Amino acid sequence: MALITRDDKHKPAPVPGPYLPSTARGEPDVPARTPLTPWNLLAAIAEGAWTIVLGHWVTLVSFFRPKITDQYPHRDPRRDWQPRPGYRGDFALISNKEAGRLNCTACMACANICPSGCIWIEGEGKAKDRVAVQFYVDTGLCQYCWLCVEACPFDAITMTPDYETAADSAAKLIRDIDYLRARGLEYEHALKPAEVEQPAEETAEESS
Ligand code: SF4
Ligand code: SF4
């Protein structure tokens, strides 16, 4: 009786037919080389020369193309540019300018609905006198979903079209109540998603 060793048992079965290595099929292991004839040599030289010409042509065309250098952020070439309606940018808290206080009553609806947990609020007072005294939004965590604005029953928080939110540290991405209040002075009301008007050309495209 033949002794079956552990190595024999784990040896992979030979792969049939065309999957065998070329040498096992009796074929040469290396692909046939292009024969070195004068014609082939000339064709190879011509191909090499053409790639050099092509590369220089691309360089030449780029050389005469008008150059555009954006001195951003010192000079913003898009200064007359505005994001599309409904763009969700930086945050602001709306104030009741007559009463001289924020609309926010620290009801926590926005903080509770926020899927990223990036709103932190502290309130003071009771019932209609209740007002937010601390309000933080961590825009580094925010996913700009607009749920907080939709959930707010007091027209107190909004997202502005301001897209300049980049910062060089995570701490600078956290907006506090003073920042949010100052930014909100430009706004009378929070912009709700349902109020966003689509540009005329988009509406025409959809209806066609
Ligand atoms: S936009 Fe969305 S993720 Fe950002 S603070 Fe509001 S609810 Fe949270
Ligand atoms: S912003 Fe609106 S939803 Fe959020 S705590 Fe203030 S009042 Fe409530």
Q: What is the DSSP string of 25-88?
A: TT--SSPPPPP--HHHHHHHHHHHHHHHHHHHHHHHHHHHSPP----TTTS-TTTT--PPTT--
CATH number at residue 174: 3.30.70.3270
42 in a structural domain: no
Residues touching ligand 2 (Cβ under 6 Å) are 104-110, 121, 132, 151-152, 154, 156-157
Q: What backbone torsions phi and psi does residue 57 show, to the nearest 5 degrees?
A: -65, -45
Query: Who has greater pLDDT, 34 or 9?
Result: 34
Q: What is the pLDDT of residues 95-109, one digit of tens each?
A: 998 888 999 999 999
Mapping DSSP to helix (H, G, I), strand (E, B) and coil, where does residue 124 land? strand
- Give residues with Cβ within 8 angstroms of 23, minimum separation 6: 29
- Ligand 2 atom 8: residue of nearest CA: 107
pLDDT in tens, 76-93: 655 666 778 888 899 999
The pLDDT of residue 106: 95
pLDDT at 204: 53
For residue 115, give its domain range.
91-192
- Please indicate whether residue 120, judged by its CB atom, sits closer than 6 Å to ligand 1: no
pLDDT digits (tens, 9 = 90+) for 114-142: 999 999 999 999 988 899 999 999 999 99
Determine, yes or no, domain membership for 184. Answer: yes
Q: Between 34 and 186, where is the model more confident? A: 186
Q: Residue 174: inside a domain, yes or no?
A: yes
Task: Quote the number of domains for the chain.
Answer: 1
152: nearest Cα among 135, 139, 138, 174:
135
Degrees to nearest 5, angle at CA 81 with 136 and 76? 80
Q: How many CB atoms lie within 10 A of CB 111?
A: 18
Contacts of 172 (CB under 8 A, 6+ apart): none
How many whole angstroms separate alpha carbon 94 and alpha carbon 131?
12
Question: Rounded to the nearest whole angstrom, what is the distance from the C-alpha of residue 111 to the centroid of ligand 2?
Answer: 8
- Rounded to the nearest integer, the mean pLDDT of the chain is 82
Cβ–ligand 1 distance for 121 under 6 Å, the answer no
Q: What is the pLDDT of residue 77?
A: 59
Q: Is the CB–ligand 1 distance for residue 190 below 6 Å?
A: no
Q: Is residue 121 part of a domain?
A: yes
Residue 132 to residues 77, 80, 95, 101, 106, Cα–Cα distance (Å): 39, 35, 11, 9, 5
User: Ligand 1: which of 142, 149, 191, 192 to mutate, judged by most atoms within 8 Å of the beta carbon?
Assistant: 142
Instruction: Tell me, yes or no, whether 169 lies in a domain.
Output: yes
Q: Let me know if residue 7 belongs to a domain.
A: no
| Pocket of ligand 1 contains residue 174 by CB under 6 Å | no
